[in-house]
Amino acid sequence: MTGIADGRVVIVTGAGRGLGRAHALAFAAEGANVVVNDLGVGLDGTPDPDSPAARVVDEIRAAGGEATAHAGDIATGEGAASLVATALEAYGHLDALVNNAGFLRDRMLVNLDEDDWDAVVRVHLKGHFLPLKHAAAHWRAEAKAGRTPSARVVNTSSGAGLLGSVGQGNYSAAKAGILALTMVAAAELGRYGVQVNAVAPAARTRMTERTFAETMAAPDTGFDAMSPQNVSPLVVWLGSAASEAVTGRVFEVEGGRITVMEGWRPGPTADKSARWTPAEAGETARKLLAAAEPPGAVYGAEQPPGDTRRRRSGTTGPPCP
């Protein structure tokens, strides 16, 4: 197979199902050698006897591609280190890391147990940090040895990380943390030939199947707007050498739409050049708020009657892993 990722070695975490599987297949179709990581757990992160990583590897090989399975826990130092080692042992180098693994344990905040908080933050946020850390250590060593790579990292955030999502405080916090981690990694690792970006996808997966209808195909074209396969082309491009000079960016992807997210930027401001009194500060804050653009609505929040504001990017669906 030849294509935009021809000859590149790509790790995809959580690649046994859903978005990760779609990414792995898409990379392979474009000529990449893929390390398919999946721990094989259920939607809530509990053990699942049906491990899907090997099946995805079989799919890739049946289509003429090359792939290797990895079933380690990438939210542990040992598992993340063995993930990178698997790529190097199988293919001799590493070009891209796609952090995608995750699960949900949804609760309203007052009902959210500490264990449910820790488990979700662990798999999403720590499960991004540790593979990134070990891949970056390899790429830094390569750069210092005079072999500066054309390396890529694609992290997976969510609309929940961008806007928040009612009933998903743990997930929203982790996905927002991934955005900040992406910015820091892009700034720190650029000197070693590493570009780091993030996507916030909306697609039908195990984590969203109860929310999205079974199909959202347009009757005239048959286009399934919620297929995970719609997200993968941008991920493949970001993981390829063709994305040169694109780093520290966040893209929202849904159906046929790609949106560059612009993040937190300074809005209206006032400077007294002296300390405010509480009353003055409050009066000034209200004036600034009146001049500011209103925030997008939190997913799942009730909007006041007559409030027709669309979410910041125009997305109408819920967040997705």
> Which position among 171, 192, 232, 243 bears the catalytic label?
171
**Whole-angstrom distance, CA of residue 41 vs CA of residue 49:** 8
Write the CB contacts of 111 (distance below 8 Å, at least 6 apart in sequence).
none
Q: What is the pLDDT of residue 307?
A: 52
Residue 85 in tokens? 């080692």
Give the three-state DSSP class for 94.
coil
Q: Is 158 a catalytic residue?
A: yes
Among 189, 184, 91, which residue's Cα sits nearest to residue 139? 189
Q: Containing H/E element for 34?
A: strand 33-37
Q: Longest Cα pair distance anywhere in the chain, in angstroms?
A: 70
**Whole-angstrom distance, CA of residue 42 vs CA of residue 102:** 10
Residue 199 in tokens? 């996507």
Q: What is the pLDDT of residue 252?
A: 95
**Whole-angstrom distance, CA of residue 304 vs CA of residue 27:** 44
**Whole-angstrom distance, CA of residue 126 vs CA of residue 132:** 10
Start-end of H helices in the chain: 18-29, 53-62, 77-91, 114-121, 127-144, 159-163, 169-189, 232-238, 278-291
Q: What is the pLDDT of residue 302?
A: 72
CATH class assigned to 9-261: alpha beta
Q: What angle do CA 316, 261, 74 make, to 5 degrees?
A: 90
Amino acid at residue number 179: L
**Residue in the block written with tokens 């990694």:** 185
Q: What is the pLDDT of residue 212?
A: 44
CB neighbours of residue 55 within 10 Å: 16
Angle between helices 18-29 and 53-62 (to 10 degrees): 30
Mind listing the pLDDT tens digit for each residue in 276-287?
999 999 999 999
> Which position among 126, 175, 192, 232 bears the catalytic label?
175
Q: Is 243 a catalytic residue?
A: no
Query: What's the chain's length in residues?
Result: 321
CB-CB contact of 152 with 95 (8 Å): yes
> Which position among 157, 158, 165, 232 bears the catalytic label?
158
CB-CB contact of 173 with 121 (8 Å): yes
User: Would you give per-residue pLDDT tens digits along the chain (321 residues)?
Assistant: 579 999 999 999 999 999 999 999 999 999 999 999 998 755 554 555 567 899 999 999 999 999 999 999 999 999 999 999 999 999 999 999 999 999 888 899 999 999 999 999 999 999 999 999 999 999 999 999 999 999 999 999 999 999 999 989 999 999 999 999 999 999 999 999 999 999 999 877 555 444 444 444 445 667 888 899 999 999 999 999 999 999 999 999 999 999 999 988 899 999 999 999 999 999 999 999 999 999 888 988 876 555 544 444 444 444 455
**Whole-angstrom distance, CA of residue 79 vs CA of residue 56:** 20
